[in-house]
Amino acid sequence: PLSTRCCAPSSAAPAMNCRAEVLEVSVEGRQVEEAMLAVLHTVLLHRSTGKFHYKKEGTYSIGTVGTQDVDCDFIDFAYVRVSSEELDRALRKAVGEFKDALRGSGSDGMGQISLEFYQKKKSRWPFSDECIPWELWTIKVNVVNLANEQERQICREKVGEKLCEKIINIVEVMNRHEYLPKMPTQSEVDNVFDTSLKDVQPYLYKISYQITDSLGTSVTTTMRRLIKDTLAL
């Protein structure tokens, strides 16, 4: 269910400063989760910092971000993610829903999952805060069905190679050092970062997905908010 209290939904057209990156993958059904997690975690690795601790005079110190290797079971691939169980859980939840939706009726195995980073701009009551996206990652997924084990083995390797390319693409984008929100003051930090996790601090993000049904039309299934969006206005 859509929470109506927080930000108004982002407009269809991205804001002026929002850069958009699109990645496409073709995977077997059982590889969907791992492939999505690999991409999302790689993006969030670059878009998370340590927890801020504000001190007086507007200075702050930053906590430490740990990392860990994750091996995929269905893909010949490994990736690095931030060491945060909360973050991992949140991503797995979203990806799980996406996977179920892909499998569900009315889907021909095509869909896309989006990771959007945004900033909040407070508005005065009764208007809800605005969410201004500044970076949007879209992963288009095409689920293939394979007939036998030999094909599956080849798919394991091929998808692994493809994901390596995607990681390189992501890193290329990250390296452009384009717009990033300004480091916020203490009062503004929740407008820029998700401060709800206890060990790391990603930029505010939301994950949504769309499934293309067999008629080829796009059905927006859910907007899922993964931030603590019960702000009292």
Partner 1 sequence: AMDTDLSSQDRKDLDKFIKFFALKTVQVIVQARLGEKICTRSSSSPTGSDWFNLAIKDIPEVTHEAKKALAGQLPAVGRSMCVEISLKTSEGDSMELEIWCLEMNEKCDKEIKVSYTVYNRLSLLLKSLLAITRVTPAYRLSRKQGHEYVILYRIYFGEVQLSGLGEGFQTVRVGTVGTPVGTITLSCAYRINLAFMSTRQFERTPPIMGIIIDHFVDRPYPSSSPMHPCNYRAGEDNGAVYPSVEDSQEVCTTSFSTSPPSQCVFTVTKAHFQTPPPVVTDTLKVPVMGLAFSHQLSSSRLSYQPAALGVGSADMGYPVLLAGGLNAAHPHQLIGPGKEGGVPPVPSQPAHGTQADQERMCTPLDGVHYSAATPSSSEDTETVSNSSEGKCGSPHDLLETIFIRKVGAFVNKPINQVTMANLDIPFAMFAPKNVELEDNDPMVNPPESPETESPLQGSLHSEGSSGSSTGNTHDDFVMIDFKPAFSKDDILPMDLGTFYREFQNPPQLSSLSIDIGAQSMAEDLDSLPEKLAVHEKNVKEFDAFVETLQ
Where does this chain bind partner 1 (CB under 8 A)? 42, 45-46, 49-51, 53, 61-69, 71, 76, 78-80, 82-84, 147-150, 153, 157, 161, 163-164, 167-168, 170-172, 174-175, 177, 183, 198-200
92 versus 158: smaller Cβ distance to partner 1: 158
Minimum Å distance from CB 214 to partner 1? 17
Minimum Å distance from CB 21 to partner 1? 15
Minimum Å distance from CB 36 to partner 1? 16
Main-chain phi, psi angles of 130, to 5 degrees: -90, 145
Minimum Å distance from CB 221 to partner 1? 26
What's the CA gap between 92 and 101, in Å, rounded? 14
CB contact at 8 A, 67 and 82? yes
56 versus 124: smaller Cβ distance to partner 1: 56
CB contact at 8 A, 41 and 82? yes
111 versus 160: smaller Cβ distance to partner 1: 160
Minimum Å distance from CB 86 to partner 1? 10
Structure tokens at 157: 């390797």
Q: Is 160 helix (H, G, I), strand (E, B) or coil?
A: helix
Beta-carbon contacts of 42 under 8 Å, excluding residues fewer than 6 positions away, are 79, 80, 81, 166, 167, 170, 171
What's the CA gap between 53 and 198, in Å, rounded? 12
7 versus 38: smaller Cβ distance to partner 1: 38
Amino acid at 136: L
Minimum Å distance from CB 200 to partner 1? 5
138 versus 169: smaller Cβ distance to partner 1: 169
Q: Is 215 helix (H, G, I), strand (E, B) or coil?
A: coil
Q: Is 26 helix (H, G, I), strand (E, B) or coil?
A: strand
Phi/psi region, residue 119 (left: phi>0; alpha: psi -120 to 50; beta: rest), is: beta
83 versus 222: smaller Cβ distance to partner 1: 83
